[in-house]
Structure 1
Amino acid sequence: MKNLNIKDIAKIAGVGVSTVSRVINNHPDVKDKTRDKVLKIIEEYNYIPNNSARNLKRTDSKNIGVLVKGIFNPFFAKLIQFIEEKIDEEGYSMILHYNDDNANDIEAAVELIKEKKLKGLICLGGDFTSLDESQLVDLDTPIVLSSTDIIEDANRTFFSSVIIENEKAAFDAVEYLCRLGHKKIGIIATGQEDRCVGRLRFEGYKRALLKYGIEYDEGYFEIGEYTFESGFKAMNKLLDKDIDLTAVFITSDIMAIGASKAILSRGLRIPDDISIVGFDGIEYAEYFHPSISTIKQPDEGLGKKSADILFDLIKGKKNHEHIILKTELLERESCKKLI
């Protein structure tokens, strides 16, 4: 028989993973009948808890991990700065790890916790939509997911999160263009196949079009990959279609800057010929010429709140929390009102 994990024991016992965890850790808030049933199954199947993982929290490690998705988005640099300040203040050390775009984020998080014997982990971005709660229970290490997407039916008792409403923020950006009189609005995004924030921003774009009676046209969409180069290439593809765009919503400022470069390199003007709205609120967008209108994410709030929650968990002060922060539309020079 294969080595059973805590999820297998829970399934056999007909209880939740958290209940099995409480039995294993001798927590008092379990009914005697349930406790006896779980212990009997554990004995029957000779289940041995993953002590090497469960004991990570009890080691003398003073390391806090920060797992970052990709290496190209400077938006995360600000978050890391605020997180590192809190880690230093608490007398811990930060271990920073960048995860490849094609790598499995959940596996990378688990591996980093085990390898570095982390006291806690903050994940910036990434895909955690298929997170298995048994992985977190076995690790017994506080995790905060920041600036990513949390699916509605996720068991939120095993992790914390600090996020924004990506769909609403994208809706606000495109609605702004619609109110300016634009109807031929393109989009550069990671697409509907993106299971993280890219998908939500794409949905926000389509919802805004629907509200203003504009039919979604797939020809107005191109895929980008959160880099300057991909924004540049995607914008050139849109321009090659000759579809008389008057505006483009781009789901990251990095891609928006690349797209703006493509527009200007063709002798077109921003915003006279094409209006641009980005997403993130990074400093580069403010100092690009013309300055790019964008959705500003609360970088300080995301960074500081993520770190505060993590240390509250480490100190046992609070249970897991789930915070949603507000975004802000910054109106700059890259958008024009149509007559």
Structure 2
Amino acid sequence: MEQVTIRDIARKCKVGVSTVSRAMNNHPDINPETKEMILKVIAESNYVPNNSARNLKRSNAKAIAILVKGMDNMFFNNMISVIEEVVRKKKYSCIIERVEEKANEVDSAIEIVKEKRLRGIIFLGGNFTHPHEKMAQIPVPYVISTIGAVSDGGKPCASVSVDDYRESYKMVDYLCGLGHRRIAIITACEDDISIGRLRLNAYRQALLDHGIPYDPDLVFHMTKDDTYSFATGYKVTKEILEKKTEFSALYATADTLAIGACRALKEAGLTVPDDISVAGFDGIDAGEYYIPSITTIRQPVEQLAAETAKMLFSLISGKEEPCSKVYDGELVVRESTKSRIAQQ
């Protein structure tokens, strides 16, 4: 019989791992009803905390974990495949853990390190705004991948990414160069201060550099519960169309959003790119084979993934100090965008 884990309890209770941990440790910062419900589920599930794992010497462990926040984002699929291959060649095992959108990824990391014999952690996705004191609680080396350069209270964390601001600017500059002046954007929720904020700020600056006024009515945010999925792109685009906002191009800050957007536009009787140009970001395989194929910023997946794994193993071996490595993306022009200059 498979052993019940703290994440199993969290899923049953529909709460984060950190909330389960607070209930188990009698932490005052938890709703009494929630605590009672969690403890009841723990008792019914015969869950036993794996305290022995905490006392094992991690120097003998041969496992790392990949914590993924945003499993619906197809961009991560290829990343994970490449990382797994590197890990396998190092004769390590690889544990893949999904982190719920509302969960705290650092709390999840701390708990999985307690339960598993881990040597290191890779974070894919998420919103890293955690204070130094929080990050310092992670007892093993870690690399933050695809999220951009971040710091731990002024001290740089190990990270691998593209420059999201620069690459987003590149895309909006391209759309402006095609003659588009009414460019709608689908981006992360309003309080996102990582990738979503960077890509939105670049959008704003590119418009300004082309003499195009920034119009907040053209900015459409995902909600906190939304993921970077086809469904979200479809849903948000339908909301855009219902508002009857005038636009000639739609920049979706992920290819999955762009593909969902194309479906909503088609259902509304609009043709891509003749009526509306659509652009994405990431360079996932599905965007190349969709009809019309999606103009995008292609991230160098293989390089990002390989460097992420390489950096983690260097940290584990003590050969490297935490640093940030930034790669260039590539503007890939396909069928979903069209010039409006001749039409004006």
Using structure 2 for the length normalisation, give the TM-score: 0.79
How much does 1:227 deviate? 1.5
Report the counterpart of residue 49 of structure 2 in structure 1: none
- Is contact 2:110–2:139 with CA below 8 Å preserved after alignment? no
Give the letter aligned to residue 275 of structure 2.
D
Structure 2 counterparts to residues 304-323 of structure 1, below 5 A: 304-323=306-325
The root-mean-square deviation of aligned C-alpha atoms, in Å, is: 2.0
Q: How big is each residue's C-alpha offset from its partner over 1:255-302, in whole Å with a ceiling of 9 and x where there is no partner?
A: 110000011111211111000110110001111100010011111111
Q: How big is each residue's C-alpha offset from its partner over 1:92-125, in whole Å with a ceiling of 9 and x where there is no partner?
A: 0001001001111111122122221310101011
Relative to 1, partners in 2 of residues 1:288 and 1:173: Cα closer, same or farther, differing over 3 Å? same
Q: How big is each residue's C-alpha offset from its partner over 1:150-206, in whole Å with a ceiling of 9 and x where there is no partner?
A: 44674335x411011111111111110000000010011114311221111111111
Relative to 1, partners in 2 of residues 1:332 and 1:57: Cα closer, same or farther, differing over 3 Å? farther
Indicate which of 315, 325, 330 corresponds to 1:328: 330
Indicate which of 222, 228, 231 corresponds to 1:229: 231
User: What secondary structure, in the 3-state scheme, does the structure 2 residue paired with 1:188 have?
Assistant: strand
Report the counterpart of residue 166 of structure 1 in structure 2: 164
User: What secondary structure, in the 3-state scheme, does the structure 1 residue paired with 2:172 have?
Assistant: helix
- Is contact 2:187–2:253 with CA below 8 Å preserved after alignment? yes
Report the counterpart of residue 66 of structure 1 in structure 2: 66
Does residue 241 (structure 1) correspond to residue 243 (structure 2)? The answer is: yes
Report the counterpart of residue 290 of structure 2 in structure 1: 288
Moved more, 289-298 or 238-247: 238-247
Report the counterpart of residue 297 of structure 1 in structure 2: 299
Relative to 1, partners in 2 of residues 1:323 and 1:146: Cα closer, same or farther, differing over 3 Å? same
Relative to 1, partners in 2 of residues 1:71 and 1:182: Cα closer, same or farther, differing over 3 Å? same
Relative to 1, partners in 2 of residues 1:57 and 1:284: Cα closer, same or farther, differing over 3 Å? farther
Structure 1 residue ranges without an equivalent (≥5): 1-51
CA distance in 2, matches of 1:164, 1:282: 15
Count of aligned pairs between the two proteins: 286
- Is contact 1:106–1:127 with CA below 8 Å preserved after alignment? no
- Is contact 1:124–1:148 with CA below 8 Å preserved after alignment? yes
Does residue 146 (structure 1) correspond to residue 141 (structure 2)? The answer is: no
CA distance in 2, matches of 1:53, 1:310: 22
CA distance in 2, matches of 1:218, 1:280: 24
Using structure 1 for the length normalisation, give the TM-score: 0.80
Give the letter aligned to residue 223 of structure 1.
H
Report the counterpart of residue 20 of structure 1 in structure 2: none
User: What secondary structure, in the 3-state scheme, does the structure 2 residue paired with 1:110 have?
Assistant: helix
Report the counterpart of residue 200 of structure 1 in structure 2: 198
User: What secondary structure, in the 3-state scheme, does the structure 1 residue paired with 2:331 have?
Assistant: strand
How much does 1:237 deviate? 1.6
CA distance in 1, matches of 2:286, 2:301: 14
Report the counterpart of residue 220 of structure 1 in structure 2: 218
- Is contact 1:184–1:246 with CA below 8 Å preserved after alignment? yes
Give the letter aligned to residue 213 of structure 1.
G
CA distance in 1, matches of 2:54, 2:134: 11
Please identify the structure whose Cα radius of gyration is greater: 1
Q: How big is each residue's C-alpha offset from its partner over 1:28-51, in whole Å with a ceiling of 9 and x where there is no partner?
A: xxxxxxxxxxxxxxxxxxxxxxxx
How much does 1:242 deviate? 2.3
Report the counterpart of residue 8 of structure 1 in structure 2: none
CA distance in 1, matches of 2:134, 2:191: 25
CA distance in 2, matches of 1:137, 1:103: 18
Does residue 155 (structure 1) correspond to residue 157 (structure 2)? The answer is: no
CA distance in 1, matches of 2:66, 2:150: 21
Relative to 1, partners in 2 of residues 1:321 and 1:151: Cα closer, same or farther, differing over 3 Å? closer
CA distance in 2, matches of 1:271, 1:253: 15
How much does 1:140 deviate? 3.8
Give the letter aligned to residue 252 of structure 1.
A
How much does 1:218 deviate? 1.6
Indicate which of 177, 180, 183 corresponds to 2:181: 183
Relative to 1, partners in 2 of residues 1:320 and 1:54: Cα closer, same or farther, differing over 3 Å? farther
CA distance in 2, matches of 1:147, 1:67: 12
Indicate which of 193, 208, 211 corresponds to 1:210: 208
Relative to 1, partners in 2 of residues 1:297 and 1:57: Cα closer, same or farther, differing over 3 Å? farther
